[in-house]
């Protein structure tokens, strides 16, 4: 049997797509809704992953001082080096997506997802016990960078596998909603990272935070990872993967897969860039460029993450009704048009804390319009036998370039030009390109 995965159209195409993919690939039987444990097992790894990535971004100025600023180095130089390590981990994501994706497409979702969560949890927890530059000298930043690379490998495998699992478990007509759980746990992870970092900064104060308190958020990844491992050990393989194992299919066209990956990168690059600009980079930007205190900067990012989390599931559900691309296109266009006015509002001395919170919350919600349908959109661009690999590469490459490099690009641009609007221009430009890619249908099928 030859599997053809048709490209989504602009509106109303989801019914035909779900009819073909959900029923045809599962032997004509109605899909059984996944259990709560299955949903939790599929999505909890994203929470652990993005909790740590969020914590690293939120504590970037502290980590720069402890690991990347030797005697004579300036705070700005240390922050750039910290973000360089941040970006390096993202560039290991495509390697992880290819490695774990290939294994997951060949031997199954469950086993590989268990290996991924073990690697991710161990690397995150070990950051919390690393010696700093004052203790280990030049070895300290290298150890931190090595653990970041391991995190990048595991994160590259996590998202593709989790999205493949959740969308293949989804009942007919609900891939948008179930895929949105992946983005929702990203929001929970970022929000948890912001909350924990802000709580530690508030309870301990800036001196204690810099001395040893920064370790606590990383050590908290261990109990989170153990819960994730327990959930995944009891996970079953997806019906669609089992059906794929029983079906003899020829090799996938490499050209069609590569074309779909490139198109997928274009469609989600705005989500990647705007998400990290508004949800992760913002605290360090407020500290370095607008001279806001650590605690105030961390608290300012909480409304953005709340808005992001609140919008994701409704956006995924809406995409099940009107299609993925219209919802994501709306988010991309809004960011492209409103990013600069938003940052001008944040920079104004006359803007109250309430208005700033509402503005950042609205910005997070707009990013949620892209994040909600994004996982299902990527999953539907690839058939089951290359789904983990294909969507994982598209997502991880987009994140490597447009999320992982966001802090480095923005910090360096502000430092060199003095233009504090650099983050807004970065997010707006990426979303403008995404809008063009979302308007383009997938003309080359992956079969």
State how far Cα 152 lies from the chain centre.
Answer: 12
Largest CA distance in the chain: 68
Contacts of 142 (CB under 8 A, 6+ apart): none
Determine the Cα–Cα distance for residues 185 and 155; give it in Å rounded to an integer: 14
CB 187 within 8 A of CB 308: yes
CB 148 within 8 A of CB 89: yes
Give the residue from 265, 276, 244, 256 showing the smallest Cα distance to 377.
Answer: 265
Structural domains for the chain: 14-22+33-241+253-439 (1.20.1250.20)
pLDDT at 195: 81
In order of 193, 233, 323, the CA distances from 221 in angstroms are: 10, 18, 36
CB 25 within 8 A of CB 3: yes
Beta-ladder partners of 446: 5
Determine the Cα–Cα distance for residues 169 and 330; give it in Å rounded to an integer: 28
Instruction: Spell out the per-residue pLDDT of the chain, length 447, in tens.
Output: 333 333 344 333 433 344 334 333 443 444 556 677 778 888 888 888 878 877 877 787 788 788 876 555 566 666 666 667 766 777 888 999 999 999 988 888 888 999 999 999 999 899 999 998 888 888 888 898 899 889 889 988 888 898 988 888 888 888 999 999 988 987 788 778 878 888 888 888 878 888 889 999 999 889 988 998 998 888 878 777 777 656 545 555 678 888 999 999 999 999 999 998 888 777 666 666 666 666 666 666 778 888 999 999 999 999 999 999 999 999 999 999 999 998 888 777 777 778 878 888 999 999 999 999 999 999 999 988 899 999 999 999 998 888 877 777 877 887 788 887 888 999 999 999 999 999 988 776 666
Q: pLDDT tens digits for 254-297?
A: 788 889 999 999 999 999 999 988 887 776 666 666 666 666 66
CB 273 within 8 A of CB 398: no
pLDDT at 369: 96
Sign of the four-CA dihedral 32, 159, 393, 123:
negative
pLDDT at 444: 65
Beta-ladder partners of 5: 446
Q: What are phi and psi of 387, to 5 degrees?
A: -65, -50
Q: What are phi and psi of 446, to 5 degrees?
A: -95, 115
Determine the Cα–Cα distance for residues 152 and 116; give it in Å rounded to an integer: 11
Angle between helices 75-91 and 93-107 (to 10 degrees): 20
pTM for this prediction: 0.78
Determine the Cα–Cα distance for residues 178 and 316; give it in Å rounded to an integer: 8
Q: What is the CA radius of gyration of the chain?
A: 21
| Residue 80 CB coordination number (10 Å) | 17
Determine the Cα–Cα distance for residues 328 and 333; give it in Å rounded to an integer: 9
Determine the Cα–Cα distance for residues 198 and 205; give it in Å rounded to an integer: 10
Three-state SS string over the chain comes to CCCCECCCCCCCCHHHHHHHHHHHCCCCCCCCCCCHHHHHHHHHHHHHHHHHHHHHHHCHHHHHHHHCCCCCCCHHHHHHHHHHHHHHHHHCHHHHHHHHHHHHHHHCHHHHHHHHHHHHHHHHHHHCCCCCHHHHCCHHHHHHHHHHHHHHHHHHHHHHHHHHHHHHHCCCCCHHHHHHHHHHHHHHHHHHHHHHHHHHHHHHHHHHHHHHHCHHHHHCHHHHHHHHHHHHHCCCCCHHHHHHHHCCCCCCCHHHHHHHHHHHHHHHHHHHHHHHHHHHHHHHHHHHHHCCCHHHHHHHHHHHHHHHHHHHHHHHHHHHHHCHHHHHHHHHHHHHHHHHHHHHHHHCCCCCHHHHHHHHHHHHHHHHHHHCCHHHHHHCCCCHHHHHHHHHHHHHHHHHHHCCCHHHHHHHHHHHHCCCCHHHHHHHHHHHHHHHHHHCCCCCCEC
pLDDT at 274: 93
Q: pLDDT tens digits for 138-156?
A: 888 889 889 988 988 998 8
pLDDT at 379: 94
């Amino acid at each position: 049997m030859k599997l053809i995965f048709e490209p989504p159209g602009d509106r109303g195409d989801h019914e035909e797509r779900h009819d073909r993919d959900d029923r045809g690939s599962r032997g004509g039987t109605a899909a059984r809704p996944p259990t709560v444990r299955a949903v939790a097992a599929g999505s909890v790894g994203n929470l652990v992953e993005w909790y740590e990535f969020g914590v690293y971004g939120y504590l970037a100025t502290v980590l720069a001082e402890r690991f990347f600023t030797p005697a004579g180095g300036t705070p700005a130089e240390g922050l750039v080096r910290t973000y360089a390590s941040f970006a390096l981990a993202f560039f290991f994501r495509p390697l992880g997506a290819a490695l774990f994706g290939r294994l997951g497409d060949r031997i199954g979702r469950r086993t590989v997802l268990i290996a991924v969560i073990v690697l991710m949890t161990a690397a995150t927890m070990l950051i919390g016990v690393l010696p700093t530059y004052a203790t280990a000298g030049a070895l300290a930043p290298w150890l931190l960078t090595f653990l970041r690379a391991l995190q990048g490998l595991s994160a590259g495998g996590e998202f593709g596998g989790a999205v493949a699992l959740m969308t293949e478990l989804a009942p007919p007509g609900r891939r948008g909603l179930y895929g949105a759980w992946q983005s929702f746990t990203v929001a929970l992870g970022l929000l948890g990272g912001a909350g924990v970092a802000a709580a530690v900064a508030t309870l301990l104060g800036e001196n204690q935070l810099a001395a040893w308190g920064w370790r606590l958020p990383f050590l908290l990844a261990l109990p989170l990872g153990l819960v994730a491992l327990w959930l995944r050990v009891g996970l079953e393989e997806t019906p669609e993967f089992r059906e794929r194992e029983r079906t003899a299919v020829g090799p996938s066209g490499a050209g069609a897969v590569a074309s779909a990956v490139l198109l997928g990168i274009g469609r989600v690059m705005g989500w990647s860039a705007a998400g990290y600009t508004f949800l992760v980079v913002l605290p360090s930007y407020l500290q370095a460029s607008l001279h806001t205190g650590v605690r105030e900067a961390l608290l300012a990012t909480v409304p953005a993450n709340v808005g992001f989390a609140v919008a994701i599931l409704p956006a995924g559900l809406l995409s099940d009704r009107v299609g993925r691309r219209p919802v994501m296109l709306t988010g991309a266009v809004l960011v492209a048009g409103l990013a600069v006015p938003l940052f001008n509002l944040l920079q104004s001395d006359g803007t109250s804390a309430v208005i700033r919170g509402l503005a950042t919350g609205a910005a997070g919600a707009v990013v949620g319009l892209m994040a909600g349908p994004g996982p299902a959109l990527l999953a539907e661009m690839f058939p089951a036998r290359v789904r983990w690999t294909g969507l994982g590469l598209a997502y991880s490459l987009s994140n490597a370039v447009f999320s992982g490099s966001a802090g480095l690009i923005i910090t360096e641009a502000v430092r060199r030009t003095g233009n504090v609007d650099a983050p807004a221009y970065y997010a707006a430009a990426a979303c403008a390109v995404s809008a063009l890619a979302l308007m383009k249908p997938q003309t080359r099928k992956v079969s």
